[in-house]
């Protein structure tokens, strides 16, 4: 069997499921042909068995134990062996066909997903994409697995028909026409059964949801109570599933009974006809056995035909869903770059806001509205060519959308606020493009202050990280993501809120090391934390989507410009998740009358009583350090 | 910490217990299937009689009588199958409903410490995957196995009754078949499990790629992700090849038995018939029986295989029952609401203490901030103070009674742990709140929401308190979910709260809103706040600095600052930065 997966899954036509299935068929016609051939051999041998059995019995009746019986038995044994061999080898080919088709589909889905960017989640629910691999690809493969048996079954049916007609035309006609009639009437009964099965599956799905919901919230449930309520709810739904199951049992048991009755009645009629013909001498006793044998045997090809119809329907639906995924166009870089890459050291400029990242500097981006700075950072990352067409970002004057995406990503990396950690060894997930040598890793880990992650991961750097870094706390995940971003070491690195979930000690340490870590390469940090702002070369402050000021943190703090109160409010908030933010506002209120307005327009002003209380708490301390002269700026401000 | 998995002896014992419990319905079902299978044996028998009758010359009257018997047998089998199938399926539904309800009850009464440490991933997969896999086996497999076993047994008995001499020939291929099937079944379970694990890994990879699509794009991880898909597919391929190899041996071995059986019966039967030991009609019947028994044998092999796999799921389900309780309730009434730790030690692994002999007294109504570097043992201390884990050494008491001696309901009334984790349950908003107080009326629920400043958005919901929330319901922001969690605390009304980074994962804006909600909850309670941000410490009555599993400094903020220790250094640097 050829090794799978193939190196290149190819490029299928996406115009429709039939075209797609045909494309797959052509790609594996060789093994499919062999499988069909073996299927024909298997079924042809099987189709001869009732005839030979009848013949052997006739030989025994006519000549007793002798050469004729031996010959019939030997032929029966030989054909049996051939069909067993064809069955075993055929099964291998069936599986090979299945795997080839389904693996190719999975690979194609995997390739689309790894190239699409956020377009995939924007266009399709995650469940549907996963299901394309988990179910639909397998359904597509199934078609190729049952095809050989289907073709074999048709051949067997033809052989049986000819043999039966040669024994007796009326008996032959009853067998050939009667069986499909039985199959069709059974199929008609399947509808109501399927309806009830769907009802049960739905109820059962809800039960599973309820169960996993209960278990997902188990810590809370155990912490505050309510287990009784949840058990009762689960029990209620569980009983509902049981009742639906009893409904299914009602229909299913009738169907099972009819599956005995209809073919049984068919055989009774056939045997009655045959027996009378045998008494008349129209057919032999052995031929009566043969007739009975075919009545039983032909149920099998008919069943295979039904399976084929079902498989083809499912494959058609499955192929449609696979194509749906394959049709997703990457959100950026769908077309090749048309402009040459600007030289190293070119500035990255967001033309909409005026935010600009000049070569070699460590810049912080602060915005009155945190969503605004996140939007700017996103634009800098070129995640969506279409959406960003009206808000272009340029590198050295060339719009990012005109550049080759891969080359751009090597130079400019935007690490977003909620980065995703993937499962894998810690070393591989940290140094995603590098050599993963220990010294390099430990340096980055030290920079991001993530020693505790290595210590708490069983196996250390070689240890496995679960998906989404589930074994880590929020702060640990953030530091791992930071180390990962730093290890990429791109010419321009944009970090969005890299330390928002990290404690104050650690944040201060990381901020201090960041300067050395980037060693003169260009860096933009989106943050409002003074612990970080104090270490950067320059702060750019954005208000209402436009750059209003830049300079060192200290300069901006001292400014009395109209935007200054807003700046104070933003950077103050981070010192203390809520309280001093408003405290600072009040103090600056004395300096600048506008602050009160700013506080008043805050979309969620603090409740009055709480406000007074907080003021009382902080009054003393604020007096102490609010007017305390700041540390001298390390580098000169720009403004 | 991993949840236990039952060993095979325990699974067997559990299955035996189930069988004993349901002996009566099982007997009835087996009886019905036996009768149905007997009726199913009529066809070949009649045909044999017809062959003899035709050979010996007969009347149409005799033939018609035989056919009438056949028709009656078909009718009888039809009716019997109907009742047998119905009662076995209804029985399967009943047993399985019982099993899953018991399981959920076991899960929801797992000890607090197990729940905290084991994480929910494993439990979720047991509740969904394992339950579903087992369900498949119980619902479809058990009835099929019963039918197959009954049919095979009766067919063998029938041939032995008709002619033991001819019947011997039927078994010519059986020894090899049995040997190969045993060989196969021994290897099948791990091989198929490896296969499904490989596909699960592939699904996981795709899920990760989709969920992290932005990160994949940003850090140009596309090639790596594609490589991972190919690695998973390679593993699936290797696993598929292994199971295919098993089947490549199984299929021909079983087929061979069914090829040899009719040939042997014909030759040996023909020889016996020519010597008048038996009639050719009897030989015909037995040949037809060998064909007829093929289906049930295959079905049996298939289902034994499936049931073996289901048994591993059962082992994981029964395993949850093996978790030992972490506390024994003792009758004792706390004298007051003061919480005290004495010589408190804790080790997740024996000999590796995370906390070293901690002494701590909390006065009723005080606010204690716990600060310190990551990994210092802050969270562990918090869990001890909330009575989640029984200490390895020493004690945590409320009013003189160890927390872990209190019945759970009572413990919850004393102290509650609030973490950054929140979960909105599927159900109405009111359902979500009533977890904490089943008897609360709507007015009380609204008061609780008021207290956490959540009344505004709740009133704006389409159906207010009756709005369906949680997965599939109205979407809530993380901050709203956290407010629901806080409102539950108001309803639960414990006198002491342990806050473990309750707001640290939220973005600064959400955190600001929440802080106010939190104040509504903290009002009038003893609070232990494990904190990242120093302002919490400054705000508190006392600050405890935890480092290396010990409380290195404790006291009011001002005193600690004046003392000039670690805390003072930290505070000064923070204060310095702030300016």
Q: B66: which strand partners?
A: none
User: Is A636 a residue whose pLDDT tops 50?
Assistant: no
Is residue B458 domain-shared with residue B560, that is, in the same domain? yes
CA A278 to CA B34: how far, in whole Å? 33
SS3 B358: strand
User: What number is the average pLDDT over the span A381-402?
Assistant: 91
Is residue A309 domain-shared with residue A401, that is, in the same domain? no
Is residue A302 domain-shared with residue A198, that is, in the same domain? yes
Q: Using one digit for the tens of pLDDT, what is the confidence trace for A270-329?
A: 899 999 999 888 999 899 999 989 988 888 888 888 889 889 998 999 999 999 999 999
Q: Which residue has the tokens 């190899």?
A: B245
CA B19 to CA A33: how far, in whole Å? 50
pLDDT on residue B374: 66
Its domain, for residue B372, covers 367-393+403-578
Least confident of B115-129, B145-159, B229-243: B115-129
In a domain, A284, yes or no: yes
Q: Which of A126, A212, A226 sits opposite B128 (nearest CB)?
A: A212
Counting Cβ atoms within 10 Å, is residue B413 exposed (0-12), middle (13-18) or buried (19+)? middle
In angstroms and rounded to an integer, the radius of gyration of the C-alpha atoms of chain A is 37
Is residue A296 domain-shared with residue A377, that is, in the same domain? no
Would you say the C-alpha torsion B555, B557, B561, B567 has a positive or negative sign?
A: positive
User: Cβ of B161: how many Cβ atoms within 10 Å?
Assistant: 9
Is residue A288 domain-shared with residue A370, that is, in the same domain? no
Is residue B253 domain-shared with residue B127, that is, in the same domain? yes
User: Is A191 a residue whose pLDDT tops 90?
Assistant: no
Is residue B234 domain-shared with residue B382, that is, in the same domain? no
Contact B74 A264 (CB under 8 A): yes
pLDDT on residue B502: 63
Distance from CA of A633 to the nearest CA of B (A): 12
Is residue A313 domain-shared with residue A353, that is, in the same domain? no
Q: A542: which strand partners?
A: A367, A547
Is residue A127 domain-shared with residue A55, that is, in the same domain? yes
Question: CB of B423 within 8 A of CB of B476?
Answer: no
CA distances from B293 to A40, B198, B256, B446 (A): 24, 35, 14, 68
Is residue A321 domain-shared with residue A353, that is, in the same domain? no
CA B59 to CA A45: how far, in whole Å? 36
In a domain, A10, yes or no: no
Q: Which of B321, B343, B376 is the last residue of a domain?
A: B321
Contact A224 B453 (CB under 8 A): no
CA B222 to CA B207: how far, in whole Å? 14
Is residue B106 domain-shared with residue B222, that is, in the same domain? yes
In a domain, A463, yes or no: yes
Least confident of A264-273, A276-285, A405-414, B537-546: B537-546
Q: Using one digit for the tens of pLDDT, what is the confidence trace for A490-546?
A: 999 999 989 887 777 788 889 888 888 888 899 999 998 888 898 899 999 999 989
In a domain, A619, yes or no: no
- The pair of structure tokens assigned to A12 is 């299928």
Is residue A322 domain-shared with residue A384, that is, in the same domain? no
Tell me, what CATH number does B466's domain have? 3.40.50.300
- State CA B19 to chain mean position distance: 22
List the one residue out of B332, B346, B399 whose CA is nearest residue B376: B346
Is residue A270 domain-shared with residue A399, that is, in the same domain? no
Task: Please tell me if residue A6 touches chain B, with a CB cutoff of 8 Å.
Answer: no
User: Cβ of A110: how many Cβ atoms within 10 Å?
Assistant: 29
Is residue A354 domain-shared with residue A248, that is, in the same domain? no
In a domain, B157, yes or no: yes
List the one residue out of B100, B188, B92, B95 whose CA is nearest residue B147: B92
In a domain, B567, yes or no: yes
Contact A234 B101 (CB under 8 A): yes
In a domain, B548, yes or no: yes
Is residue B242 domain-shared with residue B376, that is, in the same domain? no
Its domain, for residue A454, covers 348-541
Instruction: Please give the tally of structural domains in chain B.
Output: 2
Is residue A408 domain-shared with residue A308, that is, in the same domain? no
User: Is A468 a residue whose pLDDT tops 90?
Assistant: no
Q: Which of A508, A541, A574 is the last residue of a domain?
A: A541
SS3 B504: coil
Is residue A248 domain-shared with residue A376, that is, in the same domain? no
CA B290 to CA B544: how far, in whole Å? 82
In a domain, A170, yes or no: yes
In a domain, B332, yes or no: no
Q: Determine how β-strand B526-530 pairs with β-strand A393-395.
A: unpaired
User: Cβ of A379: how many Cβ atoms within 10 Å?
Assistant: 22
The four Cα atoms B293, B295, B298, B302 give a dihedral, to 10 degrees, of -130
Contact A235 B127 (CB under 8 A): no
Q: Which of B264, B290, B321 is the last residue of a domain?
A: B321
Q: Which of left, alpha, beta for A519 (phi over 0: left; psi -120 to 50: alpha)?
A: left
- The pair of structure tokens assigned to A221 is 């449930």
CA A364 to CA A248: how far, in whole Å? 64
User: Is A609 a residue whose pLDDT tops 60?
Assistant: no
* Cβ contacts of A606 on chain B, cutoff 8 Å: 516
Q: Using one digit for the tens of pLDDT, what is the confidence trace for A226-270?
A: 788 888 889 999 999 999 999 989 888 988 898 889 888 988 998
Question: CB of A203 within 8 A of CB of A238?
Answer: no
In a domain, A585, yes or no: no
Q: Which of A266, A292, A326 is the last residue of a domain?
A: A326
Tell me, what CATH number does A148's domain have? 1.20.1560.10
ipTM: 0.85
Instruction: Please give the tally of structural domains in chain A.
Output: 2
In a domain, B564, yes or no: yes
* Cβ contacts of A113 on chain B, cutoff 8 Å: 206, 209-210, 213, 225
CA B389 to CA B382: how far, in whole Å? 10
In a domain, B131, yes or no: yes
- The pair of structure tokens assigned to B65 is 């009588």
Least confident of A622-631, B56-65, B309-318, B330-339: A622-631
Length of chain A: 639
Least confident of A543-547, B130-134, B573-577: B573-577
Question: CB of A52 within 8 A of CB of A72?
Answer: yes
HSE-up (13 A, CA, CB side) for residue B121: 9
Q: Using one digit for the tens of pLDDT, what is the confidence trace for A416-430?
A: 887 889 999 999 999
Distance from CA of A239 to the nearest CA of B (A): 7
User: Is A574 a residue whose pLDDT tops 50?
Assistant: no
DSSP state of A529: -
Is residue B146 domain-shared with residue B244, that is, in the same domain? yes
Q: Which of A87, A117, A456 sits opposite B213 (nearest CB)?
A: A117
- What burial letters (b/e) apply to B252-266, b meaning 16+ CB within 10 Å? bbbbbbbbbbbbbbb
pLDDT on residue A547: 93
pLDDT, mean over chain A: 83
DSSP character string of A254-299: HHHHHHHHHHHHHHHHHHHHHHHHHHHTSS-HHHHHHHHHHHHHTH
Q: Determine how β-strand A348-350 pairs with β-strand A356-357.
A: antiparallel
Measured distance between the N- and C-terminal CA atoms of chain B, rounded to whole angstroms: 45
Q: Which of B97, B230, B416 sits opposite A241 (nearest CB)?
A: B97
Task: Please tell me if residue A308 touches chain B, with a CB cutoff of 8 Å.
Answer: no
User: Is A31 a residue whose pLDDT tops 90?
Assistant: yes
Is residue B261 domain-shared with residue B384, that is, in the same domain? no
In a domain, B328, yes or no: no
User: Is B508 a residue whose pLDDT tops 80?
Assistant: no
User: Is B427 a residue whose pLDDT tops 80?
Assistant: yes
Task: Say what percent of chain A tops pLDDT 70.
Answer: 89
Tell me, what CATH number does B93's domain have? 1.20.1560.10
Distance from CA of A199 to the nearest CA of B (A): 15
CA distances from A151 to A154, A317, A338 (A): 5, 22, 52
Q: Which of B321, B341, B358 is the last residue of a domain?
A: B321
Q: Between A and B, how many CB-CB pairs are < 8 A? A: 500
In a domain, A604, yes or no: no
Q: Which of A517, A541, A565 is the last residue of a domain?
A: A541
Tell me, what CATH number does A375's domain have? 3.40.50.300
User: Cβ of B156: how many Cβ atoms within 10 Å?
Assistant: 15
Q: Which of A66, A133, A421 sits opposite B206 (nearest CB)?
A: A133
In a domain, B269, yes or no: yes
């Amino acid at each position: 069997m050829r090794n799978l997966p193939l190196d290149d899954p190819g490029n299928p036509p996406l115009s429709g499921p039939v075209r797609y299935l045909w494309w797959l068929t052509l790609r594996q016609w060789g093994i499919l042909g062999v499988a069909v051939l073996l299927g024909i051999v298997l079924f042809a041998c099987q189709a001869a068995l009732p005839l030979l059995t009848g013949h052997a019995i006739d030989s025994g009746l006519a000549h007793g134990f002798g050469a004729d019986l031996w010959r019939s038995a030997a032929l029966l044994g030989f054909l049996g062996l051939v069909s067993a061999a064809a069955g075993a080898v055929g099964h291998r080919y069936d599986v090979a066909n299945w795997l080839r088709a389904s693996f190719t589909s999975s690979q194609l889905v995997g390739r689309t997903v790894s190239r699409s960017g956020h377009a995939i989640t924007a266009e399709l629910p995650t469940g549907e994409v996963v299901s394309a691999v988990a179910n639909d690809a397998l359904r597509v493969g199934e078609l190729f697995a049952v095809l050989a048996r289907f073709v074999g079954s048709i051949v067997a049916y033809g052989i049986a028909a000819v043999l039966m007609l040669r024994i007796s035309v009326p008996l032959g006609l009853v067998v050939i026409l009667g069986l499909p009639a039985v199959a069709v009437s059974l199929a008609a009964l399947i509808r109501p059964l399927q309806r009830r099965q769907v009802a049960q599956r739905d109820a059962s799905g809800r039960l599973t949801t309820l169960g996993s919901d209960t278990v997902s919230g188990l810590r809370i449930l155990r912490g505050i109570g309510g287990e009784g309520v949840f058990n009762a709810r689960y029990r209620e739904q569980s009983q509902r599933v049981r009742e639906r199951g009893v409904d299914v049992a009602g229909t299913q048991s009738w169907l099972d009974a009819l599956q005995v009755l209809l073919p049984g009645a068919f055989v009774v009629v056939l045997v009655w006809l045959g027996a009378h013909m045998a008494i008349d001498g129209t057919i032999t006793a052995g031929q009566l056995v043969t007739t009975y044998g075919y009545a039983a045997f032909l149920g099998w090809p008919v069943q295979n035909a039904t399976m084929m119809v079902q498989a083809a329907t499912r494959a058609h639906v499955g192929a449609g869903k696979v194509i749906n995924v394959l049709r997703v166009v990457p959100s950026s870089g769908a077309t090749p770059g048309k402009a040459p890459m600007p030289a190293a050291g070119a500035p990255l400029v967001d033309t909409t806001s005026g935010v600009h990242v000049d070569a070699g500097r460590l810049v912080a981006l602060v915005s009155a509205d945190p969503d605004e700075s996140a939007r700017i950072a996103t634009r800098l990352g070129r995640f969506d060519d279409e959406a960003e067409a009206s808000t272009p970002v340029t590198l050295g004057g060339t719009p990012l959308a005109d550049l080759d995406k891969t080359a751009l990503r090597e130079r400019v990396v935007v690490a977003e606020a909620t980065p995703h950690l993937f499962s894998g060894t810690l070393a591989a997930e940290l140094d995603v493009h590098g050599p993963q040598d220990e010294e390099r890793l430990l340096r980055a880990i030290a920079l991001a202050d993530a020693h505790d992650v290595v210590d708490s991961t069983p196996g250390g750097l070689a240890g496995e990280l679960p998906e989404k870094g589930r074994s880590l706390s929020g702060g640990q995940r953030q530091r791992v993501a930071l180390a990962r971003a730093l290890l990429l070491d791109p010419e321009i690195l944009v970090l969005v809120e890299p330390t928002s979930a990290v404690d104050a000690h650690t944040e201060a340490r990381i901020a201090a090391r960041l300067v050395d870590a980037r060693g003169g390469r260009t860096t933009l940090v989106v943050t409002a934390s003074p612990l970080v702002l104090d270490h950067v070369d320059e702060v750019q402050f954005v208000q209402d989507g436009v750059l209003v000021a830049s300079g060192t943190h200290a300069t901006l703090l001292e400014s009395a410009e109209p935007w200054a109160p807003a700046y104070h409010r933003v950077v103050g908030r981070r010192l203390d998740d809520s309280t001093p933010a408003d405290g600072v506002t009040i103090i600056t209120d004395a300096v600048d009358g506008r602050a009160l307005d700013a506080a008043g327009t805050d979309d969620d002003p603090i409740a009055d009583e709480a406000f007074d209380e907080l003021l009382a708490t902080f009054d003393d301390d604020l007096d102490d350090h609010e007017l305390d002269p700041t540390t001298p700026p390390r580098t000169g401000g720009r403004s | 910490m991993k949840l236990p998995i039952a060993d095979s002896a325990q699974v067997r014992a559990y299955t035996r217990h189930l069988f004993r419990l349901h002996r009566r319905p099982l007997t009835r079902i087996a009886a019905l299937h036996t009768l149905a299978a007997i009726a199913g044996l009529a066809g070949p028998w009649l045909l044999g009689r017809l062959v003899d009758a035709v050979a010996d010359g007969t009347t149409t009257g005799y033939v018609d009588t035989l056919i009438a018997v056949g028709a009656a047998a078909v009718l009888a089998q039809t009716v019997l199958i109907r009742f047998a199938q119905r009662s076995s399926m209804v029985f399967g539904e009943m047993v399985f409903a019982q099993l899953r309800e018991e399981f959920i009850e076991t899960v929801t009464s797992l000890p607090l410490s197990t729940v905290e440490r084991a994480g929910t991933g494993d439990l979720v997969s047991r509740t969904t995957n394992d339950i579903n896999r087992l369900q498949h086996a119980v619902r479809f497999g058990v009835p099929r196995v019963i039918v197959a076993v009954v049919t095979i047994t009766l067919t063998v008995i029938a041939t032995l009754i008709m002619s033991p001499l001819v019947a011997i020939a039927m078994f010519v291929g059986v020894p090899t078949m049995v040997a190969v099937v045993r060989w196969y079944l021994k290897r099948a379970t791990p091989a198929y499990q490896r296969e499904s694990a490989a596909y699960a890994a592939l699904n996981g990879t795709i899920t990760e790629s989709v969920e992290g699509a932005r990160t994949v794009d940003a850090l140009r991880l596309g090639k790596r992700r594609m490589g991972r898909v190919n690695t998973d597919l390679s593993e699936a391929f290797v696993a598929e090849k292994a199971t295919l190899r098993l089947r490549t041996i199984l299929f021909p071995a079983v087929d061979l038995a069914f090829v040899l059986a009719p040939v042997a019966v014909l030759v040996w039967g023909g020889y016996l018939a020519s010597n008048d030991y038996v009639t050719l009609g009897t030989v015909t019947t037995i040949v037809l029986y060998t064909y007829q028994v093929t289906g049930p044998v295959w079905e049996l092999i298939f289902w034994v295989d499936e049931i073996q796999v289901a048994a591993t799921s059962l082992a994981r389900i029964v395993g949850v029952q093996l978790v030992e309780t972490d506390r024994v309730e003792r009758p004792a009434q706390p004298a007051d609401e003061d919480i005290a730790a004495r010589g408190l030690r804790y080790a997740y692994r024996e000999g590796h203490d995370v906390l070293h002999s901690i002494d701590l007294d909390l006065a009723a109504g005080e606010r204690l901030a716990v600060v310190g570097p990551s990994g210092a043992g802050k969270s562990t201390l918090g869990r001890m103070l909330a009575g989640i884990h029984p200490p390895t050494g020493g004690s945590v008491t409320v009013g003189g009674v160890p927390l872990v001696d209190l019945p759970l309901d009572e413990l919850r009334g004393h102290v509650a742990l609030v973490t950054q984790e929140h979960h909105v349950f599927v159900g109405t908003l009111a359902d979500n709140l009533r977890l904490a107080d089943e008897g609360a009326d709507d007015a009380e629920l609204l008061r609780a929401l008021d207290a956490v400043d959540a009344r505004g958005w709740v009133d704006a919901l389409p159906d207010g308190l009756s709005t369906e929330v949680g997965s599939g319901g109205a979407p809530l922001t993380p901050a709203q979910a956290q407010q629901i969690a806080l409102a539950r605390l108001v309803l639960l009304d414990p006198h002491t709260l342990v806050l473990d980074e309750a707001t640290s994962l939220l973005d600064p804006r959400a955190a600001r809103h929440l802080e106010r909600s939190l104040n509504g909850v903290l009002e009038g309670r003893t609070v232990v706040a494990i904190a990242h941000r120093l302002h919490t410490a400054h705000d508190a009555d006392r600050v405890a600095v935890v480092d290396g599993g010990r409380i290195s400094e404790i006291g009011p903020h001002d005193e600690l600052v004046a003392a000039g220790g670690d805390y003072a250094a930290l505070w000064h640097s923070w204060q310095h930065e702030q300016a």
